Structure formats: C-alpha cells, structure tokens
Amino acid sequence: MTVSEQPQAQYLKDYTAPNFSIEHTELTFDLQPLNTKVTALLTLKRTTHENSALVLDGIDLQLIELEVDNTPYSNYKVEGEHLIINDLPHACQLKMVTKISPQTNTSLEGLYLSGGAYCTQCEAQGFRKITYFMDRPDVLSTYDVTIIADKSFKQLLSNGNEIDSGETQDGRHFAKWQDPFKKPSYLFALVAGDFDVLKDTYTTKSGREIELALFVDKGNLSKTPHAINSLKKAMQWDEERFDLEYDLDIYMIVAVDFFNMGAMENKGLNVFNSKCVLANQETATDKDYHTIESIVGHEYFHNWTGNRVTCRDWFQLSLKEGLTVFRDQEFSSDLGSRALNRIDAVKVMRTHQFSEDAGPMAHPIRPEKVIEMNNFYTVTVYDKGAEVIRMMHTLLGEVNFQKGMQLYFERHDGQAVTCDDFVAAMSDASAIDLSQFKRWYNQSGTPRLKAIQHYDQEKQLFTLTVEQSAPLNQPDNSNLHIPFAIELLNEKGESTALTYQGEQQDHVLNVTEQTQTFTFDSIESRPVAVLLEDFSAPCILNQQNSEHDLLHIMRFARSDFSRWDAQQQLFIKAVKEAMDAPEQAKLSDNVITALRVLVEAQSGDLALIAELIKLPSFDTFAAEFEIIQVDEIITITTRFEQQIATQLASEFLSCYNSLVDDGSINANAVAIRALKGMCLHYLAKTQNDEVSSIISNAADSSNMTNVLAALSAVVKASHPLSGSLLNHFDSQWRHDVLVMDKWFALQAMHADADAIDNIKALYEHPSFDFSNPNRVRALVGSFSHFNTSQFHREDGKGYELLGDLLIKLNAINPQNASRMLTPFMSWKRFDETRAKAMKAQLQRLANLDGLSADLYEKVEKALN
C-alpha cells in the first residue's frame, strides 16, 4: 500500500457545519437480490451564502440517473467515494437513481440480503452503501420510504408509521412508511422478509396505546416473550425514572442472525442480532436472559438519548453511547441486583478498558482523531463513557442529575449536539462547576491514585492522603476531578461516622489536586478503610492492604461491590506473592477459611457468593504486571483452583445437593443456579464417581444454564466426560445455530495440545459459517480471549490461527475482522518470544494487499 493509498485520518478540530440541509428525504426501493434500484428524492436547502458544491458520500453504487428540479442535470462528477454536484440553486429537489447488489454485500453494512431477508445496518457510515447522501449525523431529515418487493417477502418494514400498502401492477407488493421525526441517515432502517410476529401493546403514562411488534425467523416465536416483556419494562422504567415517554404509534424489533453488532436503535425499527432476542429456558442461559433485558433496554433508551437528541459528529459518539450505557446499567440495577451489575461493569473496565487505555489504541471518550469510525465503537467510548456519566451523577446527586437531563432535552430536542452541550446542561441545572471535570472527555489513559493512610491513636485522628498521577503512556495529562468514595470500618466491622471538628463529612471526597489530604476525627481505634468504594472513579488505586484488612472488608463493608473487590485483591495479592515460586503456590488458611464460610452459609445473596468464591480472570491478573507473565499466572491460578476444589470438596458437594431451584427466571432461582454452577466448576476438578453422576444429570437438564454449567466444568477441568457430553450436545442441538454457538465456545476452551487442530477441524462443521459474525466470534473469539494457555502458546500457533482468520475476514467482513484483532493490540506487554510471534502476525496483515481501512488503522497503530 503506497502512502497515497493509505486511509486518511479525520480530526475533530477540522469539523465544519454542512453547507446544505436535507429537509426531506423520499426513498423508493425496488428490491432485487443482485440489482436493487434505489430512487432518492432529496429536498435541499443551502445553509451558506457561497456557491460551494454539494458533496455526497457513496460506496459501491451505480449511478443511473440524476435530476435537479425534474430536469436531467450533468454538472457533476464522481471522485472515489464522493459524488460532487456543482452550481445547485439555493433550494431544489435532487433526484438520484442508483443500483446496488444486496446479495453480494458480505460486509453487513448498508443494505444486504442474508438468511433469506433484506436488512440494513447504517451506523456509523453504512447509509452511503445504499444511495448517495450527506452521510453524517448532523444532517437531519424527515423520511418517506416506499419498499417494493416480491410477495414472498411478506413484511416490508421501515422507520416511523406505516401509511400505505398494497399490490403493484406487476404482481408484487409495496409498503410506505413515514417518519415524522427528523433523524440522521445512520438511524435509517429497512427490513424485508417472511417472519413470525409477536404482537403486544403498551399504554404510556399519558394514556397512549403503543403497538409493539417483534419479528423473528419462522419457528422462533416461543423464544420471544422475554424480549417483549423486557421492552415493556424498559418503557415503564424510562417513564418512572426519567419521565420520558415513547413518541411513535408503533415500536418494532426485528431479529436477524447475520448482524455485526448486538443491536441497532434505528428510530422505531430496532434491528437486533438474534442472539440478543431469542430465549427460552431450554435454549438460553440466565446470562442470556439478563443480556437480552439489558440490550433491549439499551436500544429503547436510545429513542431519547441518541435519536431525539443525536451527536453532531462521530467524535461525540460517547454523547449517546456513554449516556445510554449508564441508563441501561441503572435499568438493570433497579430491576435486579445492583451489586452484581456493578461487578459486571467494573470487570469490563479493569480488563478490557484499562488494557485499551494502556495500549496503542488509547483514546479519550471523545476522540480527537479517527481513520475508520467503526474502530471507535470501543469499551472506552461506551463503558468508560458510562463511568464518566456515573461520576457526574455521583457529584450532582439524583435530583440534580434529573434536572440536568430535563434541561438537556428542553434545549436540544431534535438537534445534533456535542458532549460539551450535555455537560453544560448538567452544570447549569445543578449550579455545580464541572469545568475541571470536563477533562475526562479529552484525556486518554487510566489515572493512577496512591492512598496513604495514617492513624494517630492519641488524637484519634485518621488522615488519608490521595495522590493522583497521569497514566504512564500519557504523562502530560492534567489533574482530574475525581469523586473518591470511602467508608471507615471499626474493629467490630461497624461503619464509622465521618466527622471533622464537629461537622459531618461527605463520604465522597473531591480529589482535584495532585496531592490532597483529608482528616477525620473522633476515630477511637485504627479503622480499616474501604477506598474508592463502589469503584467511584475509573482509576487504578495503589494501596497497601494487609490480608487481615482485606478479609475484614470482605466480611463487613456496606457495599457488596467493595466486599467483592476486597476478595479480588486477596487473590491478586496471593498471586503476586507466589510469583517467586509458582510450583509451591498456596492460598493461606485464612483465605480458605473465608471461602469455606461463604460456601457453608448458603444464605443472603447466593449470586454474590458465587462471585466471591470465583478467582479473577487471567486478564485481571495480567493487568497487574508491566510484562505479562503468562506461564506463571496460569500455573499459580491452576494450583489455587485445585487447592480450593480439594480442600472444600465436601462443602461444595453439600452446598450443591442442598440447593434446589424451581426452574424459573426469578432472581432467587437464578442466584441458586449461579452458586450451583460454581460448585460444579470446582467439583469437576475432583473427578470422583459421585461428582461424575452429578455432572451427567446436570448435563441432561432441561435448563440450559444447568447444562452449560456442567459442560463448562468438564471442559475446563479436562474431565473424562467432556468428549461424550459435547458430542451428545452437538447431536441434540445441531438444528439450532444460536445454541450451537455455545457449543463452539465450549470447544474453543479445550486446553489440550491439539486444541488448534480441533478448531481448524470445526471450520468444516455444518453449523459453522465464516460469513456469520456470531459463529466466528463464538469459536475463534472465545479461543483468543479465554483459552489463555493455548492462544498464548510459546510456539505461536495460537497467534497464527487468529492471523489466518483475520486475513480471510478482511475480504469478507472487515468490521468483524477489526474487532477480532483486539488480542494482538497489547503485544508489547508480553515476553520477547510471544511478542515477536504476535508482531509477526501484525506484519502479515500490514503487508496484505487490499487491507481494509478497519484493519489498517489498528495494525498501523499497533506496530508503530
């Protein structure tokens, strides 16, 4: 690739407003697999005084006809991915007819035909694969859409409300849709297919009846009730918590199997990956049920935070995504366990996001520079963006935060705006200065905090000094405004009041300087400090906690999250201490006793207990080391797990046998299954006849959570039953591709030496399909992210497997390839042998003819 051929970067600082507005868009689709005709009629108005050209975006389009005000027009040219039209009047109607080929569009962007249905995906820049358009989020337009297709495609769907339908003269049929709300092109949607439909209604708090419709592939209707119920819960929650009501007459969700993302919030017509919709007890796990509820909520909440108010440019992506992730996290927390939802969110932050922050793709939640926008749908923009919103909520409080949301909508409904606009609304509504806090939007990297504690027994004073420092890879970062929450526990485990000189102190400390000291008096004995309670800021905290203090926090902290966090620190501390002699690694008797107490208790939040007895992931341990010590971490954690399994075998067996769930999806039953699953995880490592019988029974359950718990346990323990149980699962579920994704993910976890040959053989399995992102992510994605010992083999064969796949996907689906590349991005953090092998795969990609922009950006940054 020559320098002139390299994809070019775009910069936030270069933003300019569009020189035309598109007041109205009228689209007509004549759907044909290889030859779809798209007629676009755009009502244009010039927004500037100079006579500049109209530049429209387009990719893989065949322009057939172009007219201005009903007259053929020739003063245009096509240059690369742009249609440039000169000398247009101040206001006019532009008509364009283009042809596209949905059947050969394997990128799953724009309009594509897959799985027997036409479908669109336009975010971020897919609309330009449908017709020439100003494909940018700050160009808002109303839409009328007519879809013409063969009658075999029974449902013809688009955004808004259906206003007409009927037959055409040539024996086909049509439907016409009208969306009265202005929207950017990325929110456009079209689906045509023959689906089963679940219909329902929801009555808003103002008394409007909304029609709900969920479209799924034939035969899947029994798997839809949970999704539709989740939608109704989300609609009610948004009314109660945020006073936001749905605006159209119908809300539709379509589930398709070929989809790059989890789901898409297109106005009134959400398109979902089928795995994020379909569920029943026989085919879906409790985790699937939770994920469906969360994602259905997320896309619905976008109706206001993303659709009614959208982002001015793609650099502002976190404006809608960070805010909406925060909203869906709050939705899940209000409906379920706040502690478990917080634990899940922080796991993502401390592993994937912190790693991204420390690597070559580090970027602020509002990036300054981008080559391929699809590469910035990241954990930083989404999950760190949500943490920034959560910190704002912490600083303002619920009442002021809601005032800020109300002012935000009052000011900006129907507009495309910036992150600055959102912060201004929050600041103005609360009268709280957020000027320093805004640095979170502009600075990349994970801040580091050091906490120094001092207790003066004579004066009964406890002093906490907090030092903040810039990330190692961002040394010039300025001091941030960090909400630092604390709790002080006395020797009895009671929470101590925070006072100084007779005044009550807030438990959230405002850390704004490089070094700050906070003093609390009337502390009768040395307290145990719970610091950064509930992960009140996305920072790396350095504190010297003894095993005694961590066990004290684990027992008594008021925050369940902080109890879990102390447990994580206990295991991390033990791993670090064992590094000098991995083969003799052993957990202390105190830790084993604490785990025994948890297992024997069988009371309280059982799902939380399941988390408390689980070792942290490899990624969690790896985050603690500048150079990741792969072999040592695997050796030590394997020994720890075997020790726990052996020393607590009778307790795990007793716990498993005593727990009985009713098979429902209520919180108690889900918690019971979670704890039983962890018991099986450890029991499988003991490999006795009684345990084998228990595992076989669980694998034969009619509840998929129990089945997967059993299969996961035997695969991870290399149990003799794993082969027969996996073969039985294959024969039982080969007809259901989504269930087979679970099987592929389990196959990817084999830690045997022939693991890679096994994966290559599975490429030939009848259920596997390289063009389907779900299949590829289930098999190779699971292998590269979770099968640590085999992916990170010293001989580099694990890396070669992923490299071969990326080369193949580059030609099929570059967006999916880019997301699969992530494990290579941190290659410099590994030992010399592994780093060299990963770099070789990156170099293979860099030398590839026809390397996509999606991969080019990441590969170039990783190597340089």
CB-side neighbour CA atoms (13 Å) of 113: 16
Residue given tokens 């879906």 in the structure block = 284
> Own/partner pairs for 15-18, CB < 8 Å, 24+ apart?
15/312, 15/313, 15/315, 17/47, 17/138, 18/47, 18/134, 18/136, 18/138, 18/139
DSSP 8-state assignment for residue 628: B
Contact 497, 504 (CB under 8 A): yes
Is the distance from CB of 426 to CB of 401 less than 8 angstroms? yes
d(C-alpha 327, C-alpha 294), whole Å: 10
User: Residue 87 and residue 214: Cα distance in Å, rounded?
Assistant: 46
Residue 643 half-sphere exposure, CB side, CA atoms within 13 Å? 18
- Locate 635 and state its tokens: 């050796």
List C-alpha distances in Å: 365 to 349, 435, 443: 13, 16, 8
What crossing angle do the helices spanning 737-747 and 755-762 adopt, rounded to 10°? 160
Catalytic residue among 26, 109, 265, 299: 299
Instruction: Return all residues near 832 (Cβ < 8 A) that are at least 6 apart.
Output: none
Q: What are phi and psi of 227, to 5 degrees?
A: -65, -45
Residue 464 contacts residue 451 (beta carbons within 8 Å): yes
Contacts of 539 (CB under 8 A, 6+ apart): 446, 447, 448, 449, 468, 482, 532
Tally Cβ neighbours within 10 Å of residue 53. 17
Closest CA to 537 of 708, 389, 341, 352: 389
| Burial state string for 75-98 with b = 16 or more CB within 10 A and e = fewer than 16 | ebeeeeeebebeebeeebebbbbb
Alpha-carbon span 548 to 551, nearest angstrom: 5
Alpha-carbon separation of residue 398 from 240, 389, 535 (angstroms)? 13, 12, 18
Q: List the helix and strand counts (H, then E) for the chain.
A: 29, 33
Burial of 23 (0-12, 13-18, 19+ CB in 10 A): middle
Q: Which two tokens stand for residue 698?
A: 């669980």
Cα gap 166→750, rounded to integer Å: 55
Least Cα distance to 854 among 361, 373, 426 occurs for: 373
The amino acid occupying position 54 is: L
- The DSSP code for 630 is H
Q: What sign for the dihedral angle of Cα 334, 284, 773, 299?
A: negative
Q: Active-site residue 299, yes or no?
A: yes
Distance CA 142, CA 125 (A): 18
CA 585 – CA 575 distance, rounded (Å): 8
Catalytic residues: 299
